Amino acid sequence: MSERFRPGGFAANDEIASEPEVPFHVDGRTVMAREGEPLAIALLASGVRIFRTMPHTGEPRGGYCLVGRCTDCLMIVDGQPNVRTCLTPVAPGMVVQTQHGLGERDEHDPFCLGATT
């Protein structure tokens, strides 16, 4: 349903189209993306339409503004919740998960400081 396409005449923007493809992981599946493009864009290109479900209603959201203002695109990225995927460039091997509610943190390292107690 959603897909990448080859445009005509967008000369200065073809830099995006020519980036190498890299794999990342979404809810256990492997998805291909163009290196450096925002996660949300890569997800939409691969047909993923739901990024999170909301805390009060449980309703799905799938991106709205895509410029970092609305937070419909928040997902758990490499274990960190509430990441604005529309502003986060893809890196090879990134692990992305659908966020349900406000997201949960590791109870032993709630602020993701990486320290051992």
Partner 1 sequence: MTRPRVAVVGGGPAGLSAACAVVAAGAATTVIDEQPRLGGRLRYRRAPVAVGGRDLIDPGELVQTMIGAASDAGVSLLPDVTAWALFAGNRLALSGSGAPAELEVDRVILATGSTDRPYPFPGGSLPGVFSARAVHLLLNHYHVRPGRRFVILGDGPDAREAAGDVNAAGGEVAAVVGIAAPGGALAAEGETHVERVVIDGETVEADTVVVAVSRQPDADLARLVGAGISWRDMSNGHIVVHDAGGATTVPGVFVTGDAAGVTDIATALARGQATGLAVAASLSLIDASDPRLAASLGAGSIWSEAGGIAVDVPSAGLSHGHTDGQDPWDAAPMSGATEFVCRCEEVSAAVIRDAIDAGAQSINDVKRRTRAGMGACQGCFCTGPIATLLSRHAQVPRSAIDPMTARPPVRLLPLERLAGRGSPRDGL
Residues of this chain that interact with partner 1 (CB under 8 A) are: 1-7, 10-13, 16-17, 36-39, 41, 44-45, 49-51, 54-57, 59-72, 74, 77-78, 80, 82-89, 111-113
The Cα 85–Cα 98 span in angstroms is 11
3-state SS, residue 33: strand
Q: Cβ closer to partner 1: 30 or 57?
A: 57
> Residue 30 or 56: which CB sits closer to partner 1?
56
Instruction: State the Cα–Cα distance between residues 15 and 69, nearest whole angstrom.
Output: 25
The nearest distance, CB 26 to partner 1, in angstroms, is 15
Joined together, the tokens standing for residue 64 give: 């709205």
The smaller minimum CB distance to partner 1, of residues 2 and 92, is found at 2
